[in-house]
Copies of this chain bind each other. A is one copy, B any other.
Amino acid sequence: MILTVTLNTALDITYRVRSLRPHTTHRVSEVTERPGGKGVNVARVLAALGYEVTVTGFVGGSTGRIVQDALTATPGVVDALVPIGGVTRRTIAVVDERTGDTTQLNEPGPAIAPAEWSAFLEAYEDLLAPASAVALCGSLPPGVPVGAYAGLIRTARAAGVPVLLDTSGEPLRRGVAARPDVIKPNADELAELTGSHEPLRATQDARRRGARTVVASLGAEGLLAVTPEGRWHATPPNRTHGNPTGAGDSAVAGLLSGLVERLPWPDRLARAAALSAASVLTPVAGEFDDAVYRELLMRSSDTREGTVAQI
């Protein structure tokens, strides 16, 4: 199975409003709720692709119960979240029906007690044994040490499990130094890590800092991968418009599934790019348009549209 770690799980709430105008009152026309946090989104994409996934991290309170009920009802996903005394945070995505654009409001998340962190570390080590890969995803809640990901990467390496790290800021900086197999920063995260706004230079610099492979997700500019086997640029199949958060999580799912199948890098990148584009079309992170995904993958191998080029 594939293990995803989401230390800052969330109840993701989506509101549809006719048009979001600051400093006015809006009647929400539609409310949807689903389990969230980057690693949970990655798990839902992997499960939809047919992989067995186990989800761990923290969960608590009334929002946490809703998250666990929904995960239990998702085929292919096993809930191995560790209970805490705090309450799982909410995120609100406000979809403007007029433009299709999304405005995101993310709660900070509950503080993790030292005993809860210890309980997680124990559970994590047990979960690594049957795992073919592990993804460490998202921000750290208060109470978790800023070097947490570095420790989790070392534990995974000791267990012989390849690690993908998808985070930002100081947790990314410390995590990279622990030599993860893959990191997947976006343009902002990459610039913050390296100080360079030139994507190829920044991607190469991120590798020098310790990551074995760096796959930078550059939005409309596609994916830029610098790996031990070579460098590739995956152009997105076509320009799509929607929710960019979900696109990054879908790219991670594509990279992880390609990793456990030991696909060549161009195939992993084509899959990640197609999943990414297919998820931008849905307003919700952790979901993608399956028909679009299949069509894009086929088009990418048939007609060279949305190609992966060695650079």
A220-248 contact mask (Cβ, 8 Å, vs B): 1 or 0: 00000000000000000000000001000
Distance between A50 CB and nearest chain B CB, rounded to angstroms: 31
Set of chain B residues within 8 Å of A83, measured between Cβ atoms: none
Asked whether A105 lies within 8 Å of B28 as measured between CB atoms, the reply is yes
Q: Kindly name the residue among A62, A99, A103 whose own CB sees the greatest number of chain B CB atoms within 10 A.
A: A103
Asked whether A29 lies within 8 Å of B245 as measured between CB atoms, the reply is no
Closest B residue to A31 by beta carbon equals B107
* Interface presence of A22 (CB below 8 A): yes
Distance between A146 CB and nearest chain B CB, rounded to angstroms: 16
* Distance in angstroms between the alpha carbons of A22 and B22 in the assembled complex: 8
Asked whether A22 lies within 8 Å of B96 as measured between CB atoms, the reply is yes
* Interface presence of A1 (CB below 8 A): no
Query: Contacts A23-B96, A23-B103, A103-B22 known; A108 to B31 CB distance under 8 Å?
Result: yes
Set of chain B residues within 8 Å of A20, measured between Cβ atoms: 22, 103
Closest B residue to A106 by beta carbon equals B27
Set of chain B residues within 8 Å of A108, measured between Cβ atoms: 27-29, 31
Closest B residue to A94 by beta carbon equals B105
* Interface presence of A104 (CB below 8 A): yes
* Distance in angstroms between the alpha carbons of A108 and B96 in the assembled complex: 16
Set of chain B residues within 8 Å of A28, measured between Cβ atoms: 105-108
Closest B residue to A24 by beta carbon equals B103
Closest B residue to A245 by beta carbon equals B25
* Interface presence of A17 (CB below 8 A): yes
* Interface presence of A259 (CB below 8 A): no
* Distance in angstroms between the alpha carbons of A22 and B93 in the assembled complex: 11
* Distance in angstroms between the alpha carbons of A99 and B22 in the assembled complex: 11
A residues 251-267 near B (Cβ < 8 Å) are none
* Distance in angstroms between the alpha carbons of A31 and B106 in the assembled complex: 10
Set of chain B residues within 8 Å of A24, measured between Cβ atoms: 103-104
* Interface presence of A177 (CB below 8 A): no
A residues 2-36 near B (Cβ < 8 Å) are 15, 17, 20-29, 31
Set of chain B residues within 8 Å of A27, measured between Cβ atoms: 106, 108
- Beyond known contacts A28-B108, A31-B108: 16 more, CB 8 A cutoff: A15-B105, A17-B105, A20-B22, A21-B22, A21-B103, A22-B22, A22-B103, A23-B99, A24-B104, A25-B245, A26-B103, A26-B104, A29-B108, A62-B63, A62-B65, A92-B92
